Amino acid sequence: MHRWLMPMLRCPTHRRGLDLCDERVENDVIVAGTLQCPDGCRFPIRDAIPDFVPGDQYVESFSTQRRLLKRSFDGYVGGHSGDDLAHRSRIPPEEFARGVTLDAGCGYGRYCRFVLNAGGTVVGVDLSMTSLRLVRELLGDHPRLALVHGNLYELPFADGAFDRVISIGVLHHTPSTREGFRRINRFVKPGGKCCIFVYERYSLMRKMVDVHRHWTTRIPEGLLIILLSLNQILFHWLRKIPGIGRVVYALFPCDIGKPRWRQRITMDFDAYSPTYAYSHSHDEVYDWFVEDGFTDVRLGRAPIWVVGTRATPAPASVERSTPQREPAAV
Ligand SMILES: C[S@@+](CC[C@H](N)C(=O)[O-])C[C@H]1O[C@@H](n2cnc3c(N)ncnc32)[C@H](O)[C@@H]1O
Ligand SMILES: [Zn+2]
């Protein structure tokens, strides 16, 4: 952890600043120590990551997923580089170079990497410690990167601490997408931006996946991985038979885009295993931004990416309009 993070940190319960005690510093990085709140709460720093939550809570499936993809990490990251962030979010790359970005639910850090490459500073927070360790493997101890083990429902930051908050593919995996959005957007400073991506409600594939999730989220992860592997093998052969392949795909959707088996099974595990996976409409998400005081709310270049600017000051009333999808850029 770097010292520049200290003024941004708050106790998630009492919202008070934290003191650093018993620190061990190596090469200007605080690798161990304790963060202490004046009201008595104490949070350890381990392996240079401040720890604000016990365990991985309900995101164990994401930790398993990261362990799965670790063996084909280079190939996987190649296909999920995160280089599309500026394009999809409509936030120009040069904006990421300014100020500090919060990546809420950073996963293995592809968007943290984008911000660093753009010349910016980024705080990556995730509930899965396994994911944070992968970020460390991917990006090392970068001086403009801080990692925090925390829950986006109770983040340990000062209100308005960030120039922008991004949360890509995360909020629908929490107990309430709407509430999750409310909890993270308070950290955007006036004039700053918030960008989220959530699952689209009207996708037929998502509907079918949701039908299966009633049982796929209840069986042991090992068994699910075996079934998903069998489904991939079965589909690999059946897709060659005209007509049949489509039916099988519609009944039990699986990834067909990734070049390697392991990558496809990892994608399927991502779809079928998370405890929560809600889907939403453009209008719904657009309204959340307006309700929470964002202006210039725009749809991104893929469903459902939405970006808005925190009003300065928040307007008394915001004109509501039906969002218009802009033509997809080539
Ligand atoms: C589908 S992954 C997306 C990761 C990353 N944003 C990306 O696009 O590569 C969702 C991530 O959200 C994290 N997550 C889920 N609920 C969370 C919560 N309440 N607080 C923080 N992270 C959470 C999971 O651990 C997982 O790493
Ligand atoms: Zn406290």
326 and 288 in a common domain:
yes
The pTM of this model reads 0.87
Q: Which domain holds residue 236?
A: 218-272
254 and 286 in a common domain:
no
**Among residues of the chain, what percentage have pLDDT more than 90?**
61
Average pLDDT over residues 87-108: 95
The C-alpha R_g of the chain, in whole angstroms, comes to: 20
Distance 128 CA to ligand 1 centre (A): 8
Going by pLDDT thresholds of 50, 70 and 90, the confidence category of residue 328 is very low
| Among the bound ligands, the one closest to the CA of 276 | 1
Residues in the chain: 330
Lowest-confidence range among 79-88, 116-125, 317-326?
A: 317-326
179 and 287 in a common domain:
yes
Task: Using the atom order of ligand 1, give the atom closest to the CA of residue 270.
Answer: 1
253 and 140 in a common domain:
no
Nearest CA to ligand 1 atom 26: 107
Cis peptide before 313 (omega within 30 of 0): yes
| Confidence at residue 245, expressed as pLDDT on a 0 to 100 scale | 77
Choice between 254 and 259, residue whose per-residue pLDDT is larger: 254
Going by pLDDT thresholds of 50, 70 and 90, the confidence category of residue 251 is confident
pLDDT tens, residue by residue, 48-65: 999 999 766 666 666 676
Average pLDDT over residues 193-198: 97
Last-in-domain residue among 251, 272, 293: 272
pLDDT tens, residue by residue, 118-148: 999 999 999 999 889 989 988 999 999 999 9
User: What one-character DSSP code corresponds to residue 17?
Assistant: B
233 and 279 in a common domain:
no
Lowest-confidence range among 71-80, 210-219, 270-279?
A: 71-80
248 and 265 in a common domain:
yes
By the CB criterion, residues less than 5 angstroms from ion ligand 2 are 11, 13-14, 37, 39, 41
**CATH number of 174's domain:** 3.40.50.150
Rounded to 5 degrees, φ, ψ at 288 are -60, -45
Distance 60 CA to ligand 1 centre (A): 11
Report the residue among 114, 127, 268 best suited for mutation to probe ligand 1: largest number of ligand atoms under 8 A from its CB.
127
228 and 81 in a common domain:
no
| Confidence at residue 263, expressed as pLDDT on a 0 to 100 scale | 80
- Please enumerate in sequence order all residues whose Cβ is within 8 A of that of 100, keeping only pairs 6 or more positions apart, or say none: 8, 120, 121, 122, 123, 161, 162, 163
| Among the bound ligands, the one closest to the CA of 17 | 2
pLDDT tens, residue by residue, 12-39: 999 999 999 999 999 999 999 999 999 9
Nearest CA to ligand 1 atom 27: 107
Amino acid identity of 217?
T
193 and 79 in a common domain:
yes
Distance CA 106, CA 124 (A): 5
Distance 131 CA to ligand 1 centre (A): 9
Nearest CA to ligand 1 atom 13: 105
Lowest-confidence range among 182-191, 218-227, 319-328?
A: 319-328
229 and 102 in a common domain:
no
Distance CA 267, CA 258 (A): 9
246 and 308 in a common domain:
no
Report the residue among 155, 170, 182, 273 best suited for mutation to probe ligand 1: largest number of ligand atoms under 8 A from its CB.
170
| Confidence at residue 221, expressed as pLDDT on a 0 to 100 scale | 87
In terms of Cα–Cα distance, which of 91, 61, 246, 241 is closest to 166? 91
Nearest CA to ligand 1 atom 25: 128
Which bin fits 117, alpha (ψ -120 to 50), beta or left (φ > 0)? alpha
Residues in the ligand 1 pocket, defined by CB under 6 Å: 59, 62, 105-107, 110-111, 126-128, 131, 151-153, 168-170, 173-174
| Confidence at residue 237, expressed as pLDDT on a 0 to 100 scale | 80
Q: How many domains does the chain have?
A: 3
